[in-house]
Amino acid sequence: MSKDTVLKLLQANVGHFISGEGISGELGITRAAVWKAVSALRRDGYAIEARKSQGYRLMDAPDRLSETEIRAKLGEIKLVGRKLCCFERIDSTNAYLKRAASEGVVDGTVAVADEQTGGRGRRGRSFLSPAGKGVYLSALLRPPVEPNHLLPITGFCGVAMCNAVERVAGVRPQIKWANDLVLGGKKLAGILTELSMEGESGALQYVIIGIGVNVAHTPEDFPAELGDIATSLAIETGQSISRAALAAAMIEELDALYMALLRHRMQPYLDAYRRDCLTIGREVQLLWEDVHEKVLATGVDDELGLEVMRQNGTKEVIRTGEVSVRGLYGYVE
């Protein structure tokens, strides 16, 4: 498509003028097609300066989660993100990849959406996914490992996402066990991991890791029930963060995580999780069906199970369920 090819050329020469004749010759399209493409890009929100005898120059770009914008900011990757599917609006990126998995989509496929109408979190909760505000991204992986080897993958993904946020926004979130990214004492991002196994053999078919990061939300964008719980990069940093740059960094970090998993080099992620996990050393409340029990979180084991000490001194490792951390998300009692 002329519009996309012209944009890629302008992005490759950002800040510099390219003559209409030069664009026409390099892309093999007419001067009229160049003019139409530039006009279409301007309608999409791209600021393109035109000067007589000099040509066109890209000055600014809208905050879009298009494949062109993300790939323009994407560095070298090995596998994750080689196939990239971008949507303006979709039910959920996890749901899309589950449908695509049944059609044999390739290992490392990434789906990104500007808006989700059915975004989901853990335990069937909804995940607020308004247009133009966040990065909603999922990756489908087909690692040749036993399913039990993936027990810590969600937490390690949390470390990868902390890396991505720090690179782009200059701040490093912490991790609330097991997989919430927290900034300023409030939830910045959530991660949902879903696995599919072959019925008879129990072999892993695929794992889908879905991440939602609040980027441009203002306090007014959150409903009343989330006002004291959720935050965004814009709120915490006072900066305008490029969602395309963040999406690119997230893909790069997921690719690095996947390579480490395939090469059995996960110790750095375990060390980083223990460093970033704000739950460790604090009083937490275990939230079972009808029981709320206060315990002390003392650490995480090698599979990221939460090590706790009960009030009677007994120790246990928690692998599933919910915990509230004292002083976080409104829990004070």
Confidence of residue 97 (pLDDT cuts 50, 70, 90): very high
pLDDT of residue 330: 66
Quick one: average pLDDT of 292-309? 93
Quick one: average pLDDT of 213-221? 95
Helical (H) or strand (E) element with 94:
helix 93-101
Side-by-side strand order, sheet with 84-87: 84-87, 110-113, 134-141, 204-214, 186-197, 180-183, 174-176
pLDDT of 278 higher than 90: yes
Q: Read off φ and ψ for residue 97, nearest 5 degrees.
A: -70, -30
Give the span between the Cα atoms of 92 and 216, in whole angstroms.
Answer: 19
Radius of gyration of the chain, Cα coordinates, nearest whole angstrom: 22
Quick one: average pLDDT of 45-62? 89
pLDDT of 124 higher than 60: no
pLDDT tens string 223-253: 988 888 999 999 999 999 999 999 999 999 9
pLDDT of residue 121: 62
Quick one: average pLDDT of 6-25? 89
Quick one: average pLDDT of 280-297? 85
Task: Read off the amino acid at residue 38.
Answer: V
Prediction pTM value: 0.88
Confidence of residue 332 (pLDDT cuts 50, 70, 90): low
Higher pLDDT among residues 291 and 56, named by residue: 56
Percentage of the chain modeled with pLDDT above 70? 95
Which of 81-85, 137-141, 329-333 has the least mean pLDDT? 329-333
What is the rounded average pLDDT for all residues in the chain? 91
pLDDT of residue 233: 98
Helical (H) or strand (E) element with 204:
strand 204-214
pLDDT of residue 167: 98
Confidence of residue 289 (pLDDT cuts 50, 70, 90): low
Quick one: average pLDDT of 189-199? 91
pLDDT of residue 293: 86
pLDDT of residue 325: 87
Domains of the chain listed by start with CATH number: 2-60 (1.10.10.10), 67-276 (3.30.930.10), 283-325 (2.30.30)
Q: Give the CA-trace dihedral at 146, 159, 219, 121, to 10 degrees.
A: 10
Give the span between the Cα atoms of 206 and 189, in whole angstroms.
Answer: 23
Which of 228-237, 242-251, 270-279, 316-325 has the least mean pLDDT? 316-325
Quick one: average pLDDT of 305-309? 95
pLDDT of residue 187: 94
Higher pLDDT among residues 144 and 126, named by residue: 144
pLDDT of 125 higher than 80: no
DSSP state of 307: E
pLDDT of residue 126: 62
